[in-house]
Amino acid sequence: MKVLETPISPFQQNAPVVFCEKTNQCIFVDPGDEVEKIIASIEKYDLKPISIVLTHGHIDHAGAALKLSNLKNLEIIGPHKDDKFLLDSLETQGQIFGIQSKCFEPKRWLEEGDLIQLGNDVLEVYHCPGHTPGHIILVSHKSKIIIAGDVIFKGSIGRTDFPRGDHKQLIESIKYKVLSCNDDYCIYSGHGPVTSVGLERKTNPFLVDA
């Protein structure tokens, strides 16, 4: 399994595309904006999209999911249903941040322990509330990859000053879910560079007590 990142939206969100290099199947994660750019990113690798998966309901992650779903005839999966209030407010979020968006309901919500098959690999769903109540992350234990959305960044963690954010809950999500993976797992965050579990465990200033 490999990950392509294409920074999109005014927030430079990484819009990761996760793909199986054996079968070329891919999933679009968090297509928040600029779908043309995201689609172009997979064309040079000849990837075959099978679905759209959302980590959480913020506009820079979910804003263009419906547009991409309609363009490519793909189902939208996730996030956890505790983020329904955010998907229900996408149009308003978009007006505030200058991203055109429409509200929608995903084909299915995701829960802790759900599995998403992708070619010869599988992504496991971990529910990681704190940044938003319905935030999920995706983990491939075979490829040692974590798609972390806005839970953790290189040297930082997600903001918790948005509606229904919870700092204590976020730290617990990181401690019991992200840091439960071994040090050699790569973390692909929603914003900024790739990092690893080991590096964050040792150097992330927000996790010194975790």
The footprint of Zn ion (CB under 5 A) covers 58, 60, 150, 190
DSSP single-letter state for residue 9: T
In the complex, the smallest distance separating the C-beta of residue 119 from Zn ion, rounded to whole angstroms, is 27
- Residue (47 or 54) nearer to Zn ion, CB: 54
- Residue (58 or 80) nearer to Zn ion, CB: 58
Q: Which two tokens stand for residue 196?
A: 């690893």
Terminal Cα-to-Cα distance of the chain (whole angstroms): 29
- Residue (60 or 82) nearer to Zn ion, CB: 60
- Residue (33 or 60) nearer to Zn ion, CB: 60
User: In DSSP terms, which residues pair with 188 in a beta bridge?
Assistant: 147
For 91, residues 6+ apart whose C-beta sits below 8 A from its C-beta are: 101, 102, 103
In the complex, the smallest distance separating the C-beta of residue 92 from Zn ion, rounded to whole angstroms, is 15
With residue 126 as reference, give the H or E element that holds it. Answer: strand 121-127
Chain position carrying tokens 């692909």: 188
- Please name the amino acid found at residue 36: E
In the complex, the smallest distance separating the C-beta of residue 192 from Zn ion, rounded to whole angstroms, is 10
45 with 24: CB under 8 angstroms?
yes
For 111, residues 6+ apart whose C-beta sits below 8 A from its C-beta are: 80, 125, 127
- Residue (114 or 150) nearer to Zn ion, CB: 150
31 with 54: CB under 8 angstroms?
no
- Please name the amino acid found at residue 186: C
- Residue (198 or 206) nearer to Zn ion, CB: 206
In the complex, the smallest distance separating the C-beta of residue 200 from Zn ion, rounded to whole angstroms, is 17
In the complex, the smallest distance separating the C-beta of residue 185 from Zn ion, rounded to whole angstroms, is 21
In the complex, the smallest distance separating the C-beta of residue 46 from Zn ion, rounded to whole angstroms, is 29
